[in-house]
Structure 1
Amino acid sequence: MYELSLVIVLTIALTPFQWSWGGRRIDGVHAQLSPRWNVPAIYIFGDSSADSGNNNELSTIARANFPPYGRDFDSHHATGRFSDGKTTADWIRKLFRYNFLGLPLAPAYLSREARMFPFQGANFASAGSGILNHTGNVLGQQLSGWQQVELFLERWNDLAARMGESAASRHLRDSVLYIASGANDFVHNCITNDTDSAMLPNNEFNQLLLTTFTQQLQVLYNAGARKVALLGVGPVGCAPLFLWLLNTTTGECMETVNEYVSEFNDGLREMLVSFNRRNRGAHFVYRDTRDAVYLMAKYPILYGFVNGNTACCGSGNYGGGDRCSSPMSVCGYPPYHVWWDEYHTSNRANNIIARQAWSGFDRSSTTRNSTSTTIYSFLTIQQLAALQLTED
Structure 2
Amino acid sequence: MAKGLAFVALSLIIGVLQSANAEVPAIFILGDSTVDVGTNNYLPDSNITANFPHNGVDFPFQRATGRFSNGLNTADFLAKFFGFKRSPVSFLSLNGTLAIKKRRFRGVNFASAGSGLLDITGQTSTQKANVVPMGEQVYQFSMVYNDLVASKGTSEAQNFLSKSLIFISVGSNDIVGNHYSKNPIPKEQFIPNLAVVYEKHLRELNDQAEAFFSTMDTLMRNLGYENKDIKYSLGNTFNITKPVIDNPQNSSFTDVKNACCGNGTLHCTPLASLCSNRHKYLFWDLFHPTQAASRLAASILFVGDSRFATPVNFSQLAEA
TM-score, with length taken from structure 1? 0.71
Question: Identity across aligned pairs (percent)?
Answer: 31
Deviation at 1:96, TM superposition (A): 0.9
Q: What's the counterpart of residue 46 of structure 1?
A: 31
Alignment partner of 1:157 is 2:146 = yes
Tell me, yes or no, if the aligned pair for 1:312 and 1:334 is still in contact at 8 Å: yes
Q: Does 1:298 align with 2:246?
A: yes
Structure 2 SS opposite 1:39:
coil
Superposed, which structure 2 residues align to 1:10-21 within 5 Å? none
Number of matched residues?
297
State the partner residue of 1:181: 170
- Once the two structures are overlaid, the 10-residue window that deviates more, 88-97 or 113-122, is 113-122
Following the alignment from structure 1 to structure 2, what is the Cα–Cα distance between the partners of residues 148 and 104? 21
With over 3 angstroms needed to count, the CA separation of the structure-2 counterparts of 1:340 and 1:171, relative to structure 1, is: same
- Aligned counterparts of 2:299 and 2:308: Cα–Cα separation in 1: 16
Letter in 2 for 1:193: S
| Structure 2 segments unaligned to the other structure (5+ residues) | 1-16
Matched, 1:135 2:128: no
Closer, same or farther: CA 105–306 of 1 in aligned 2, 3 Å: closer
Aligned-residue offset at 1:138: 3.2
Q: AA paired with 1:383?
A: Q
Structure 1 pair 104–350 and aligned structure 2 pair: CA distance change class (3 A): closer
Distance 1:134 1:329 in 2: 33
| Partner residue in 2 for 1:78 | 64
Residues in 2 aligned to 1:202 and 1:30: alpha-carbon distance in whole angstroms? 33
Alignment partners' CA distance in 1, 2:293 and 2:189: 33
Q: Which has the higher contact order (CA 8 A, sep 6+)?
A: 2
Code of the residue aligned with 2:106 in structure 1: it is Q
For structure 1, the residue ranges without an aligned partner over 5 or more in a row are 1-28, 231-264, 367-377, 388-392
Which structure has the bigger radius of gyration? 1
Q: Which amino acid aligns with 2:93?
A: S
- State how far apart, in whole Å, the 2-side matches of 1:30 and 1:61 are: 36
Q: Secondary structure at the match of 2:223?
A: helix
In the TM superposition, residue 142 of structure 1 has moved relative to its aligned partner by 0.7
CA distance in structure 1 between the partners assigned to 2:91 and 2:319 by the alignment: 26
CA deviations 1:64-123 (Å, max 9, x no partner) are 0011101111332100000001111111011011xxxx6774111101468542122100
**CA deviation after TM superposition for structure 1 residue 304, in Å:** 1.2
1:110 paired residue number: 92
In structure 2, the CA distance between the partners of 1:225 and 1:103, relative to structure 1 (3 Å rule), is farther
Structure-to-structure mapping, 1:211-290, within 5 angstroms? 211-226=196-211, 268-290=216-238
Structure-2 change in CA distance of 1:153 and 1:112 (3 Å):
closer
2:5 match: none
Separation in structure 2 between the aligned mates of residue 136 and residue 204 of structure 1, nearest angstrom: 20
Q: Aligned partners of 1:125 and 1:344: how far apart in 2?
A: 15
Determine whether 1:126 maps to 2:94.
Answer: no
SS in 1 for 2:233: strand
Distance, in Å, in 2 between the alignment partners of 1:41 and 1:30 is 13
With normalisation by structure 2, the TM-score equals 0.86
- Does the CA contact (< 8 Å) of 1:96 and 1:103 recur in 2? no
Q: Give the superposition deviation at 1:57.
A: 0.4
SS in 2 for 1:342: coil
| Counterpart amino acid of residue 270 in structure 2 | S
Distance 1:62 1:30, change over 3 A: closer
**Residue 155 of structure 2, aligned match among 149, 159, 166:** 166
Partner Cα distance (2:37, 2:73) in 1:
8
SS of 2:72's equivalent in the other structure is coil
What residue in structure 1 maps to residue 302 of structure 2? 358
